[in-house]
Structures are given as C-alpha cells and as structure tokens.
C-alpha cells in the first residue's frame, strides 16, 4: 500500500513533477521554479503526496477552500478537489483509493461537510461517493437568424426590464478590467446555486482559464443606469468568423440580455458561441427563431460528495414543505444512515429515524440530487435510487428542486 501524507513547501517541486508525469506533460517552467502560475495557486497545506513502498512519489491530490452557493442562497464551505494524478507505472494498484480515503477523512476531521470536483473521466469518482450535480452546455447562434422576439409581457408583469432600462455596454481589454470582473463575478456567484467562489488571489495571479487567466480577451462590460457594472462577457473572435464567449456573467436577466444583444449584433461575425450556458436558460426563447440557436456539448460539470448528510441537508434552503425518510449507504467509507427530513417554510430538520424509508440511495446519488440539478425521479427510473412506494419519487422531486437550475462554470 502507498503511504499518503500532506505536503510542505519543500515538497512542491516533487508534487508538481509527479502530477505532470501522471498527465504525460511537462511543467510550463521547471518544477524547482514553481512549475508556472497555475501551480502557484495551489493551497500547499491542503495537498497530498502518495509514495510507493520504495519511497518513490507516485500520486498527488489537493483541495482548494471554496465557497459553494446552495439552493436558497446559503454559502457553504466546499473543498474543491484538484491536481489528482497517479503515475502510469503505478495505476490500478489502489493509489487513488488510498488518497481519496485519506482526503475525505482529513476533510471531515477539519469540520468540512462537502467536497466538489470536476471529473476528467466520468467513470472515476462515483465509487468514492461523488455524483454529478450541475450541468453545462454551449449555445451556437447563427447571427443572420439572431433577431430578438418582441416581449409578450411587460416589465410590470415580470419580464426582464432590459428594454426599458438605460444601461450601457463598453468593450475593454481583459488586462484593464480585472477588478470589475472580480466584483461582478462575486455578486453573481452569491445568488447562483451551484456557483463557486473564485479566491481573490486567483484574480491577482491570473490563475485559471479565461477570463481569470490573463489570456488576451475583449470584455464587454455592462453597467446599470447608475454606471455600476452588473455583467460582463469575455470573448475572442477566431476562424471561421466565430465569436466565442468564454463566460457571460450577469447579476440579473436584464444585464444578460443586454450583453447577448450586444454580442449577437457584432459585425463581421457569422456565429456566436456562448460557452457555459446553464440548463433552462431563457436566451433561446428570447430569439424570434427558436432554431437560430443550437445546443451542444452538454456535460456534467460539478460533482458533489457529502460528508455529513444532516448538516448538508439542513444548510441548504428548500422550496416546498414535506417529510421524507432517506436511507443512505456510503460503501466507500463503510457507513450507513437513515434520516428523517422534515421541511417547513424553507428550512429542514434532519434527524436519525427508525421509520420505514421512502427512498434508499447511495451517497453519490444524494450528492447528485443535493443542489436540485438532478431529479430524484430520474435516478429512480435509471435504477440508481430505490423508491419504496409510488409517491416517493414525486415527493423527492418537489422537495429537492432549487429556485433555478444550479450552475457552475468555474474551472479548477
């Protein structure tokens, strides 16, 4: 069995070198010099190094300390698992399993109740208790078909007030607007279930993907009538006449619509690709021609792993009243619990119970439904979750939904 232990500053070069070997790559700068900006963003005290019996470094894993927005708007500490790799010569010998066990045990001992990750391959993390909880996709709009439909209801009836509101869009370069992006993203992520915080030092260092990184980009910044930035779209134009939007971040639908109008009105562009659109986004419905936009690249994004079911369930907000008994199996950690969930007025109590269960499920499926982005009934139909009576799945669907589909576009 490999030995697993936390790294220190002295291990950084070995950590970076081992991780690159796992991916068959070489660091951007020599590992002894840090390996490049991305690796400088690692929280070294939260990294693990696995060594084989002969002392050779064979595996790496780490976590970032993020904040995750839960349904209802509460902000939860979330360990963001990253830098997972095992060198090719030592795979399928239990190195990752040993690191996952060590990591989950340490996180729990440190009082954390959930962890999250982005999976390079979907087959890896279910066995460790992670389930896909948010989804993302891209929308490609042909510009010659991109006219907006007239609004059918007025702003007074709840339509986005964008048409009536005096806002403005200014195009800046990424290098000159980092603070604006950081501020707008932070306001957005606090109201969006499934969104993660971006640590200030990531912005300061330019660690991550555009527009957090310093890659050259134009950024359309939207300001409200008072001149306060409330949205941005970071983009580049490439062949063949395609404007690709890395991310469109807006603190409300009106700002998003104003940015979409701006991007879709860009001259000398045949199509606009909106990356990272959440499920059930209104943009397609706003176009006069519903087929002007094509969805593609639908994929899972954030995977969630619960480490303390009662705490996780009582921390998120709820949108319907009801009672549900769930029987949760956690084979990786060798645990099992039966919980009575009682939801009233947006809050839940969760206590141990001996009552007959409504649903029996694996902790990975609880992670998948936790943010409201995966319907429990779908997992019942898929044969993942066992419903003990005909009404159980619909009851769980009604309870677990969020105020809007959870979405995450932060890459780590």
Checking DSSP bridges between strand 47-51 and strand 293-300, what pairing results, if any? Answer: unpaired
**Which residue, 121 or 267, has its beta carbon nearer to ligand COA?**
121
- Alpha-carbon dihedral of residues 145, 251, 162, 180, nearest 10 degrees? -90
CB nearer ligand COA, residue 85 or residue 293: 85
Q: How far is the CB of 123 from ligand COA (least distance, A)?
A: 4
* Residue 193: both structure tokens together: 């279930």
Neighbours of 150 (CB within 10 A): 7
The nearest distance, CB 102 to ligand COA, in angstroms, is 12
Residues binding ligand COA (CB under 6 A): 22-23, 84-86, 91-97, 119-121, 123-124, 127
CB of 84 to ligand COA, least distance (A): 4
Three-class SS state of 361: strand
The smaller minimum CB distance to ligand COA, of residues 85 and 132, is found at 85
Q: How far is the CB of 82 from ligand COA (least distance, A)?
A: 8
Residue 352 CA neighbour count, 13 Å, CB half: 3
Q: Which of 245, 293, 295 is nearest to 142 (CA)?
A: 293
Residue 96 CB, nearest approach to ligand COA (Å): 3
User: Torsion angle, CA of 258/261/265/269, rounded to 10 degrees?
Assistant: 110
Whether the CB-CB separation of 80 and 196 falls below 8 Å is answered with yes
Cβ–Cβ under 8 Å, residues 134 and 407: yes
The least CB distance from residue 124 to ligand COA, in Å, is: 5
- Nearest partner of 271 among 147, 149, 169, 146, judged by Cα: 146
Q: How far is the CB of 52 from ligand COA (least distance, A)?
A: 11
Minimum CB distance to ligand COA smaller for 185 or for 412 = 412
Strands 57-69 and 3-6, sheet pairing: unpaired
* Residues forming the active site: 125, 412
What's the burial of 142, exposed, middle or buried (CB within 10 Å: 0-12/13-18/19+)?
Answer: middle
Q: Side by side, which strands form the sheet with 114-117?
A: 3-6, 47-51, 57-69, 75-86, 114-117, 303-306, 131-132
The rounded distance, in Å, linking the Cα atoms of 4 and 51 is 7
> Which C-beta is closer to ligand COA: that of 124 or that of 205?
124
Distances (CA, A) of 205 to 47, 214, 245: 19, 9, 22
Q: Which residues contact 234 (CB under 8 A, 6 or more apart)?
A: 174, 181, 210, 211, 217, 218, 219, 245, 246, 247
Nearer to ligand COA, 121 or 176 (CB): 121
Q: Which is nearer to ligand COA, 87 or 292 (CB)?
A: 87
Instruction: Please say which residue, 127 or 386, places its beta carbon nearer to ligand COA.
Output: 127
CB of 107 to ligand COA, least distance (A): 17
CA-wise closest residue to 343 among 328, 326, 367: 326
Residue nearest to ligand COA (CB): 96
* Residue among 45, 34, 33 at smallest CA distance from 207: 34
The DSSP result for 159-189, as a single string, is --GGGTS--EEEEEEGGG-HHHHHHHHHHHH
């Amino acid at each position: 069995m490999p030995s697993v232990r936390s790294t220190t500053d002295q291990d950084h070069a070995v950590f970076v070198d081992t991780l690159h070997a796992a991916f068959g790559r070489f660091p951007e700068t020599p590992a002894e010099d840090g390996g490049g900006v991305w690796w400088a963003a690692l929280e070294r005290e939260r990294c693990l190094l696995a060594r084989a019996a002969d002392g050779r470094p064979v595996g790496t894993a780490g976590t970032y300390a993020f904040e995750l927005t839960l349904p209802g708007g509460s902000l939860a500490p979330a360990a963001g698992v990253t830098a997972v790799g095992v060198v090719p010569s030592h795979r399928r010998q239990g190195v990752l399993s040993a690191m996952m066990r060590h990591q989950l045990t340490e996180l729990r001992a440190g009082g954390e109740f959930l962890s999250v990750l982005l999976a390079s391959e979907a087959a890896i993390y279910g066995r460790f208790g992670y389930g896909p909880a948010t989804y993302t996709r891209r929308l490609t709009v042909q510009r010659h078909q991109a006219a907006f439909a007239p609004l059918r209801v007025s702003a007074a009836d709840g339509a986005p007030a964008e048409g009536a509101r005096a806002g403005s869009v200014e195009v800046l370069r990424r290098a000159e607007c980092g603070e604006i992006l950081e501020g707008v993203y932070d306001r957005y992520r606090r109201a969006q279930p499934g969104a993660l915080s971006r640590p200030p030092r990531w912005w300061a260092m330019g660690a991550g993907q555009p527009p957090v990184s310093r890659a050259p980009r134009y950024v359309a910044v939207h300001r409200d009538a008072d001149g306060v930035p409330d949205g941005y779209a970071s983009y580049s134009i490439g062949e063949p006449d395609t404007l690709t939007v890395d991310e469109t971040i807006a603190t409300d639908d009106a700002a998003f619509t104003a940015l979409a109008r701006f991007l879709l009105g860009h001259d000398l562009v045949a199509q606009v690709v909106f990356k990272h659109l959440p499920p059930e986004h209104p943009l397609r419905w706003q176009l006069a021609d519903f087929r002007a936009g094509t969805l593609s690249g639908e994929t899972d994004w954030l995977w969630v792993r619960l480490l303390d079911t009662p705490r996780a369930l009582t921390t998120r907000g709820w949108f319907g009243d009801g009672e549900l008994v769930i029987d949760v199996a956690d084979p990786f950690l060798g645990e099992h619990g039966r919980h009575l969930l009682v939801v009233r007025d947006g809050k839940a109590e969760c206590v141990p119970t001996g009552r007959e269960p409504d649903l029996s499920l694996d902790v990975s499926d609880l992670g998948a439904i936790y943010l409201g982005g995966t319907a429990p009934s779908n997992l019942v139909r898929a044969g993942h979750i066992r419903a003990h009576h005909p009404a159980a799945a619909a009851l769980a669907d009604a309870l677990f939904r969020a105020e809007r589909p959870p979405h995450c576009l932060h890459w780590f």
